[in-house]
A and B are shown apart, each in its own frame.
Chain A
Amino acid sequence: MTWKRAFTSSIGRKIVMSLTGLFLILFLIVHVSINACIFNTLFDAGDKGDTFNRAAYFMGSTFLIRVMEIGLFVLFFIHIIQGLMIASNNSTRRGTPYQIKYGNRGSRWYSRSMGLLGTLILLFLIVHIAQFWVPSRFGQLEEVQVRNGTAMVHNLFLRMEQVFSHLWVVILYVLGCISLGYHLAHGFQSAFRTLGVHNKKYVRMLVVLGNWFSILITIGFISMPVSMYFGWVHQ
C-alpha cells in the first residue's frame, strides 16, 4: 500500500481529520490560555492589559513561533478542505432519500452535523482573523509601551475593547464559540476512536474528558467578548 492510498481511503481520511483536529485542539488550549491573560486586570489595577499585550506579542515574536503559525494555517486548511470533502461525499451515498428519517435514535444531533458546525466555525474564523490577526500581523494597530520597560507592543487589548463594544460582534462570537463547543463535543472523543482507542476504560475517560474540555473551552472563549462588552474587564 502506498502512502497516498494509506491516507486517502475512507479510514485514511479519518486519520488525517483526527490528527489535524487534535493539533487544532492543542492550539485552542494555547489560544484560550493567552487570552485569559486579559483577566489579570481584575486582580492588578495597574495591569491595564499589559500582561495580555506582552503574551500576544510573544506569540509572534520568534522565528520558531512564526513557522508554527504557518503550520497552523496549513493544518486548518487541510482539516477544513478534507472535512468539507468528506461531508459532501457522504451526503451523496444514499440515493433516494427516506420518507421517514432515522432521527435521534442512538446518536446526537451534533455528531451528525459536524459539516454544518464546521462551516459555521469557518465563517466565524474568517471574521475573527480579519478582526484580529490581519491588523496585528500587518501592522495597523496602535502601539503601547510595556510596563517596567521600553519595548513597544501592539495594543491588542485596546483592539479587543473596540471590537467587542458592538453587540452584534459579541453575539456572533458567542454563536461561533457555541458551534465550536458542539464540534469539539463530538470531535474530541471521535478523534481518539479514529486513532484506534477501543479499550472501554479509556474510551469512557475520553468521552468525559472531551465533554468537559468542550464546555470549558466554550465558556472560556465566550467569557472574553462578554466581559469586554459589559466593561467587567477594561484598561
Chain B
Amino acid sequence: MEHYTMNLTLKVWRQENSTAQGRFETYQVSNISSEMSFLEMFDVLNEQLVIEGKDPIAFDHDCREGICGSCSMYVDGKPHGPWRHNTVCQLHMRAYKDGDTIVVEPWRAKAFPVIKDLMTDRSAFDRIVQAGGYISVNTGNAVDGNATPIEKEKADNAFGAAMCIQCGACVAACPNTSAMLFTAAKVSHLALLPQGHPERKTRVLDMIAQHDKEGFGSCTNIGACEATCPKDISLSNIARLNKEYRNAALVE
C-alpha cells in the first residue's frame, strides 16, 4: 500500500483522576504517517503536548504487539478501533484518511474506574481470576504427551478460550457492562482440560460470585462482546459457563 501522510482532529477524553469531572479535549495532529500505529500517533501527540508544556495523555500500553492486553481505547464507538480481531496497538493509521476526526474514550464501566485520561483500573479482572481461575496444586513437570489423551477439538477450544488477554473490551462493548465473556473464557479453558476437572465446581461458583461482587452487569446473550473481542473468544464459552454453573449450583 502506498505511503501517505495525513492531518487529523482528535477528540480525547481527559480526566485528572478517578474523582475529577472528565471532559473531551480537541487536538490537531499533522503529518501522521499511514505506516504508524495508532499508539505511535498518540506518542507524536504527547511529544507535542510535552513541548507545549502541557500534561501528556495517559494511556495503557505495554507490548504493542497485541498480546499483553494493556491497551484499551474506545475509538469511534468501538473498543480497539475499527478493525476486527485487533487490539488498538495493532491498529494502523492506514485505517484513516486525511481530515478525519477520531473520538477516543476510555473503557466505560463502574467496575473499571478511570485512573487518569484513558487509563482504567481493571484489577477487577485479576480478582475474578484470583477467586478460582487457576489450579491450586503444583502440577509438576510436563508429562508425556500421550499419558493423558485429550480430544483435538477440546484442546483447540481450550486454547481458543485461553487466548483471552484480559483487555476488558467485552465489558466496554457490552450494553449490560457484563464481564461474562471474560469469566467464561477463564472458566472454559480449565473446564475443558482434565487438569481443571477436580476444582471445576467451586471454581465456577467462586468466580461468578466475584464477578457479581465487582459490580459487572449480567449477560443477556446479546453478542456484542464476541464481535469486539480482539482474540475472537466465542460466545459459546458463555453457554459452557452457564452449564458449568448449572451443574455446580444444583449440587454444591
A residues contacting B by CB (< 8 A) are 1, 5-6, 9-15, 86, 89-103, 105-107, 111-112, 114, 186, 189-190, 193-198, 200, 203
Q: Mark B203-219, 1 if CB is under 8 A from A, else 0.
A: 00100110110011111
**Are A89's CB and B76's CB within 8 A?**
no
- Are B105 and A197 touching (Cβ within 8 A)? no
How many chain B residues touch the partner (CB < 8 A)?
54
Known: A1-B249, A99-B103, A105-B224. A90 touches B177 (CB 8 A): yes
B252 within 8 A of A: yes
Q: With A1-B252, A10-B219, A194-B221 given, is the CB distance from A107 to B242 under 8 Å?
A: no
Per-position 1/0 for B1-44, Cβ under 8 A of A: 00000000001000000000010100000000000000000000
Are the C-beta atoms of B103 and A93 separated by less than 8 Å? no
Known contacts A14-B219, A102-B175; is-contact A198 B78 (Cβ 8 Å)? no
In the bound complex, how far is the Cα of B82 from the Cα of A103, in angstroms? 13
A5 to chain B, nearest CB (A): 8
How far, in Å, is B243 (CB) from chain A's closest CB?
A: 3
Q: Please state if A107 and B238 are interface contacts (CB–CB under 8 Å).
A: no
User: A14 to B218, Cβ gap below 8 A?
Assistant: yes
B117 at the interface (CB under 8 A from A): no
CB pair A106 B226 closer than 8 Å: yes
Q: Is the CB of A111 within 8 A of B218?
A: no
Q: Which residues of B contact A197 (CB under 8 A)?
A: 239, 243
Shortest C-beta distance, A27 to chain B (Å), equals 22
- Are B105 and A98 closer than 8 Å at their CB atoms? yes
Nearest-Cβ distance from residue B110 to partner chain A, whole angstroms: 4
What are the interface flags for B88-114 relative to A under an 8 Å C-beta threshold, 1 for contact and 0 otherwise? Answer: 000000000000000101001111000
Complex-state Cα separation, A207 to B238, whole angstroms: 16
CB distance from B245 to the nearest CB of A (A): 5
Which residues of chain B have a CB within 8 Å of any CB of chain A?
A: 11, 22, 24, 74, 76-78, 103, 105, 108-111, 173, 175-178, 180, 205, 208-209, 211-212, 215-228, 236-250, 252
B246 touching A195, Cβ below 8 Å: yes
Q: Which of A11, A93, A107, A200 contacts B109 (CB 8 A)?
A: A93
Q: In the bound complex, do residue A203 and residue B236 qualify as a contact, i.e. CB atoms below 8 Å apart? A: yes
Other CB < 8 Å A-B pairs besides A14-B218, A189-B221, 4 of them?
Answer: A9-B208, A14-B219, A93-B215, A107-B224
Complex Cα spacing A190 to B11, Å: 38
Q: In whole angstroms, how far apart are the Cα atoms of A103 and B175 in the complex?
A: 9
Asked if B222 contacts A112 (CB within 8 A), the reply is yes
Q: What 4 A-B pairs come out closest when comparing CB atoms? A: A106-B227, A196-B243, A198-B239, A100-B77
Q: Which one, B22, B178, B228, B243, contacts A198 given CB within 8 A?
A: B243
In angstroms, Cα B243 to Cα A107, docked, is 23
The reply to whether A100 and B108 form a contact with Cβ atoms under 8 Å apart is no
Instruction: Determine whether the beta carbon of A101 is less than 8 Å from that of B77.
Output: yes
CB atoms of B222 and A98 under 8 A apart: no
Please name all residues of chain A whose beta carbon is closer than 8 Å to the beta carbon of B226 when the two chains form the complex. Answer: 106
Q: Which chain A residue shows the least CB distance to B110?
A: A95
Instruction: Name the A residues within 8 Å of B227 (CB-CB).
Output: 105-107
Docked pose: A100 CA to B240 CA in angstroms:
32
Cα–Cα distance between A91 and B217 once the two chains are bound (Å): 8
In angstroms, Cα B187 to Cα A196, docked, is: 14
Q: Are A6 and B249 in contact (CB under 8 A)?
A: yes
Q: Which residues does chain A contribute within 8 Å of B173, judged by CB atoms?
A: 102, 105-106
CB pair A102 B215 closer than 8 Å: no
